Chains A and B, each alone.
Chain A
Amino acid sequence: MRTQYRLGIDAGGTFTDFILADKKGSTQIFKVLSTPTEPTKAIKNGLALITEETGLTAQEIVSNSDLCINGTTVGLNALITHTGAKTGLIATKGHEDSIEIRLGHKEDGYRYDPDYPPATMLVPRHLRKGVSERVISDGTVKTPINEEDVRAACRYFIAEGVESVAISFVWSVLHPDHENRAAEIVREMMPDVRLTVGNQLYPQVREYTRTSTAIVNAYLAPILQRYVEAIDAYFRELGSQHPVRYFQSNGGLALGKVVSDQSVYAINSGPASAPQAALDVAEPWGDKNIITCDMGGTSFDITLTKDGQANVNKNIDFLRYRIGIPMIQVETLGAGGGSIGWIDSMGLMQMGPQSAGSEPGPACYGQGGENPTTTDANLVLGYLNADGLVGGRLPLDVDKARAAIKANLADPLGISIEKAAYGMFTIVNNNMVNAIRRVSVERGYDPRDFVLMGAGGATGAHITALAREMGISKVLISKLASGLCAYGQIISDVKYNYMAPAPIRLEGGAAAKKLDDLFTSLEARGRVDLAGDGFAEDRISIRRSLDMRYVGQVHECTVEIDPFEVTEATIEDIKAAFHARHKELYTYDEPHNAVEIVNVESTIAGHVDKPERMKIAAGKGAHETLKGTRPMVFNADGIAQDTPVYDGSAMGAGDTLHGPAVIEEVTTTIVVEPGWTVSLHDTGVYVVTADAAAAQDQSVQQKELAEV
């Protein structure tokens, strides 16, 4: 860091987190309420709060920061509430409806539900205009473009007051001229409109994905543009010496101009920084296989990092819209502190996905909530302090929690309140375990090979239980856990994705040459873009990925490789990597069968200096921080035992304690189950490890659980 500070701002649904790192290694978190309708307001409020608490003015911080980083949900909110721009689509005639046909599919789980509505069309049918033109699968032109059709579409859009236009033609990725010509005409006739061109935004094979991605982009672009302009102007006013960086769902930073042009990259950026934060927190131990769990009030977000690389999703349905661009895989489950316990129509106890939210909130908040929630269960089990959450600002009512559990679960099932509460805890944990399998087992990874990292305020109560269920023996929880994503953003690199279609069979010298040329040209573009942004050659790194399959398969599996010259000889290495990945994912491979590529991508990153780590002074032993004891339940029998409670904020480096125990921090509570040992590292990270003997007892304990 060349200057004094680095400022990160992560606007979430409820809270906007501020993280201020200074050169000397102190890192502080501040939280204010988000202001979704006027996003800049929360930023002003947050800077005012920092001034109040530190005495530093907004100008002092901003003008003296090397980077001001912003993670935003404005795009996400516009997509959720369908309040994006009025958008028109220009498509190949005959294919205007692909985004409404949605491959003919109704989402699983709703098959026989008569009330489940179709996805809201971001572009209604009358604003989707066909143009006579056609390129075919070998990239040649079958029908030349009829320019008059484009003009007619523009005239209609002008009459309708369209603000943003997407152009997406069939096979435009193999022959972009038609789309590019149509774009020229639109710019000429509608000079003020925002324009998204399919082959430029997402140059990958798959018409439906490309068109849908282009539409989402077009729909959000004017919104993001207004936002970025307002933020940029505000920070310039404060004397910022550098452009504001925006965080993207690919896990990297970008300039405002990029985010307003490629707004689709900004939609789910918040949780996408977790892998970066996790790698940084775990660096002192060299851990590069990490699963992060972030539990808040309503949801539970999971990411996975293998060998230092985060899982990436491409071509997925996000909020019911197909999006192609690479995004950090974030598996979200409706399991938070507010998740409601209920009995389903079959008579089974379930947790979530319905949530009591913050209004009325869990029964124990005493705000009129009558449904039993995860937080109520954790309170009844003794894990949470009835004096209250968030440093006592929110007292909890145990009697209300017990009453809600009794009426809704314990009595109908004929079991005690404590047993029901432990059941709620067990079921919500199992839901989380099943979700963790989606990022691990379903990706061909064994969760036991990973470290579990806690993030968010509510995760600490569940983290050792989750690790136990998954067979994971090491858990890390940073003191910054409740703001881990904001922290991840300030230590992230600038990252751009460059893609190209590559429908080629992986055989022979010509195919190798073609592939090598493709990667080389993509990466040349990336180097130019990053050099223009001030990154020297030695600060640029490249990752390549190829979407590959056996000839005849319909789906691809993504194979990541380091950059090397692709030749007839090294093609064999690429194939070997594919066979191995296929086997890892699906239990078998077919080494004798032909392999083909569909799409390729290079991710180019420009490295940003990291701020200094937090430093904690040595402690005097955990016993010095013992606050007292509380009865807590750690077994399915529901019988409580007196359990020590420690003050985390008083603990020093090297302080060590054994479960069962609870560590109370200001914004989180860590439950240490029997069989686990915790020690605070001098970088401000709690290291939680399974005792060897306890691991042995696990299976016994689970069998007992089943028999109670």
Chain B
Amino acid sequence: MANRQVDPITLSVVRGVLETTQREMTLALEKTARSSVFNLAHDYSTALFNHTPEMILQGQDIPIHLGSLIPAMKSVANFFEGDIHEGDLILHNDPAYGGSHIIDTCMYYPVFYEGELVFWTVCKGHLTDIGGPVPAGYNPEAKEIFAEGLRIPPIKLWDKGVPRDDIMNMLLTNMRARRDQEGDFNALIGACQVGARNLTALMDKYGKDVVQDCIAELLEMANAHMNGLISQVPDGTYSGTAILEDAGHGFGDFDITATVTIKGDSCHIEIESPPQIPYFINSYEGNSYSGVYLGLMMFAQLPPPYNEGLYRNVTVDMGKKGTLCNAQSPAPHMNCTTTPMETLTDAVRLAFEQAAPDKVSASWGHANGCNIAGWDSRHDEEYVTMVLASIISGAGATASQDGWHACGPECCFGALTSGDIEMLEHSYPIIIHEYGLMEDSGGAGKFRGGSGTRWAVEPLDTDMTLVTFGEGRRIPAMGAAGAKSEMVHKKVGRLEITRDGETQIITDNVIETIKPGEIAANLNPGGGGFGNPFERDPLKVVEDVRNGLVSIEGARLDYGVIIADADTLTIDEAATAAARAAA
């Protein structure tokens, strides 16, 4: 136990108040935001920082933002050092200053108490548009970041309490669906205010010094906890390599390698990735932290809340500047929060699998989704959005159970919600013909991976621009502990466009125009399995067949279970025993 400076009871109470504060910020943001990407996908994060600035509390946010707020906050505070005043409000999105991708815009609100900077309340959210040539920001044809949208270095949106309406107008003038973007900026600002209000009340009650002492202690306790977990891993160097598939750039598949060195209670993670490429999958350092921390969290399996103390003894080297996981301007990057982040996470997870085999689960299906845009003739206005229901993949199986169906992608880990299909059809001029699980999509294993989903859409009465992003269309989610699948083509994602009765299968990232009467179906991969599928209880396989999650052919190929009668689903015991013995 850490060396206490403070009353243990007050400490518990302060922790509770910090947690409640973050929860209330989140609610304010979620309930008022326009962008379905942040109020349904929960593609936002709210965090509290102290004056240094060190992250003192982050809740159960989307893993995409697990690490990226930390370097961003430090970069922003550094930029305005000596010029931070009560009533300032800072806006920023640029990855060159620690941001993730530019469509994630971030507000930083300094909280002063008795004239002194004590805290920052910080909110970040994925807008529906950030300007640039392609609606919703994802541009598979971009060769540079400049072709993706508006870069915003740290700027003051409020200056000593005075809103700079000219700046806000400049920003909104450059963005599509202005009303929605304006509403989302308001939501972010509102959430920062809620946080500041609560922190001020906390200091009123206990005094600034007591609160700060408690926070210092909480950071130390988190540090001690993570150190304890790391100490349980034998000293040594462990390495994992994951393959990032070529989703249309033509440069081929890439290896991303993570090397984890454990020495006592410290952990050093080194990333090696190929040189950056003129395609939207480069990840700047801030975003890469999230990928690494998610891999770490799959090992640590900690419940929320989190603070920066967890990472004090975890050092990360993202590799050379100018590489895929440590990109620099002008590398295009919009897809980075899913691709290559998920492959980076897999590499870290694989390294930890060597280090602590009992603590690791299978990979989740990677994101491969759609953005849509066009004209809504019902209200005579433009629309643009990322479609969350188009990226719902299966979760990886764990050492104790099957993966959850429809819970991914990996970079979200169940944090997002996909939105009600009636609300989507109400908000956008589309018809969703299908949103369901897919047979044989879960990775085979003693514990089966969760099923992926198929989402099929038709525009209501006007042409729709559809942009795809991500990967996982050739390489399925990785299994763990000896899991393997035969029917690989059922476990990967793809886009299927049906025009005049002809279906075209597309595995690259594309910009397509879909007309009324045409249907675009986006398939998302299942999760990886855990353990040898031939050890799965045949009765569980039959239950999956009854429920349409595994086909009769899948039972035979993936699980070595031979079903003799398709109606009664009786097992041919002898044939099953033979098939399983032959493996």
Contacts and interface: CB of A to CB of B under 8 A. Distances in A.
Interface of A: 94-98, 100-115, 117-118, 124-126, 134, 136-138, 142, 170-171, 205-209, 345-350, 412-413, 415, 419, 422-423, 426-427, 430-431, 434, 437, 441-442, 503, 550-555, 557, 582, 585-588, 590, 593, 598, 636, 699, 702-703, 705-708
B392 A104 contact: yes
B183 A103 contact: no
Nearest to B180: A552
B12 interface: yes
A259 B415 CA distance: 36
Contact of B206 (A110, A350, A413, A702): A702
Given A101-B435, A112-B303, A586-B32, 16 more contacts: A95-B434, A101-B437, A104-B408, A113-B301, A134-B431, A205-B426, A209-B420, A346-B222, A427-B12, A430-B13, A430-B16, A430-B17, A550-B183, A552-B177, A554-B419, A586-B187
A614 to B, nearest CB: 38
A347 B15 CA distance: 12
Q: Which of B207, B210, B433 has the most C-beta atoms of chain A within 10 angstroms of its own C-beta?
A: B433
6 contacts: A101-B405, A104-B407, A111-B60, A346-B224, A347-B224, A636-B9
B101 to A, nearest CB: 21
B34 A554 contact: yes
Interface string B206-228: 11001000000010011011000
A20 B29 CA distance: 48
B549 interface: yes
Q: Shortest 9 CB-CB distances between A and B: which pairs?
A: A106-B414, A94-B434, A114-B398, A423-B9, A125-B547, A103-B417, A104-B392, A97-B436, A104-B418
A586 B33 CA distance: 11
A703 B417 contact: no
Contact of B13 (A108, A413, A427): A427
Interface residues of B, number: 98
B11 interface: yes
A109 B413 CA distance: 12
B298 A112 contact: yes
B376 to A, nearest CB: 11
Contacts of B297: 111-112
Interface string B412-429: 011111111111011100
Given A206-B420, A587-B190, A588-B190, A111 B31 contact: no
Contacts of B17: 430, 434
A116 to B, nearest CB: 9
Contacts of A109: 60, 303-304
B12 A348 contact: yes
Interface in B24-44: 24, 27-28, 30-34, 36, 39-40
Contacts of B435: 94-95, 97-98, 101
Contacts of A103: 40, 417-420
A586 B407 contact: no
Contact of B361 (A95, A107, A114, A423): A114
Contact of A348 (B177, B189, B221, B401): B221
Contact of B20 (A434, A705, A708): A434
A193 to B, nearest CB: 21
Contact of A588 (B30, B186, B395, B408): B186
Contacts of A554: 33-34, 36, 39-40, 419, 423, 427
B341 to A, nearest CB: 16
Interface in B292-350: 297-298, 300-304
A258 B580 CA distance: 55
B456 interface: yes
B422 A170 contact: yes
Contacts of B421: 95, 98, 170, 207-208
Nearest to A555: B31
B389 interface: yes
B436 A503 contact: no
Contacts of B36: 554
B170 to A, nearest CB: 20
Contact of B546 (A101, A126, A209, A708): A126
A551 B13 CA distance: 40
Contacts of A442: 24, 27
A409 B215 CA distance: 21
Contacts of B395: 106
B16 A587 contact: no
A171 B422 contact: yes
Contacts of B406: 97, 100-102, 104
A115 B401 contact: yes
B65 to A, nearest CB: 12
Contacts of B407: 104-106, 118
B401 A104 contact: no
A543 B408 CA distance: 41
Nearest to A594: B179
B174 interface: no
Interface of B: 1-2, 7-13, 15-17, 19-20, 24, 27-28, 30-34, 36, 39-40, 59-60, 63, 177, 179-180, 183, 186-187, 189-190, 193-194, 204-207, 210, 218, 221-222, 224-225, 297-298, 300-304, 361, 378, 388-389, 392, 395, 398-401, 404-408, 413-423, 425-427, 431-437, 453, 456, 460, 546-549
A523 to B, nearest CB: 25
Given A98-B435, A125-B437, A590-B183, A117 B401 contact: yes
Contacts of B12: 348-350, 423, 427, 430
Contacts of B32: 553, 555, 582, 586, 588
A352 to B, nearest CB: 12
A124 B547 contact: yes
B210 A707 contact: yes
B405 A100 contact: yes
A495 B40 CA distance: 33
Nearest to A347: B1
A500 to B, nearest CB: 14
Contact of A94 (B392, B398, B433): B433
Contact of A206 (B179, B422, B437): B422
A487 B475 CA distance: 63
Contacts of B206: 702-703, 706
A415 B400 contact: no
Contacts of B31: 555, 557, 585-586
B9 A349 contact: yes
B380 to A, nearest CB: 12
A106 B63 CA distance: 13
A426 B14 CA distance: 12
A413 B31 CA distance: 40
A705 B12 CA distance: 13
A555 B30 contact: yes
Nearest to B301: A112
A703 B63 CA distance: 37
Contacts of B34: 550, 552-554
A492 to B, nearest CB: 30
Contacts of A170: 421-422
Q: Which of A95, A96, A100, A114 has the most C-beta atoms of chain B within 10 angstroms of its own C-beta?
A: A114
A699 B205 CA distance: 6
Contacts of B460: 136-137
Nearest to A422: B9
Contacts of A423: 8-9, 12
Contact of B9 (A106, A347, A427, A586): A427
Contacts of B548: 125-126
B47 to A, nearest CB: 15
Contacts of A110: 303, 414
Contact of A503 (B63, B417, B426): B426
A503 B425 CA distance: 11
Contact of B28 (A94, A111, A586): A586
Contacts of A587: 28, 190, 193-194
B151 to A, nearest CB: 25
Contact of B207 (A115, A426, A427, A706): A706
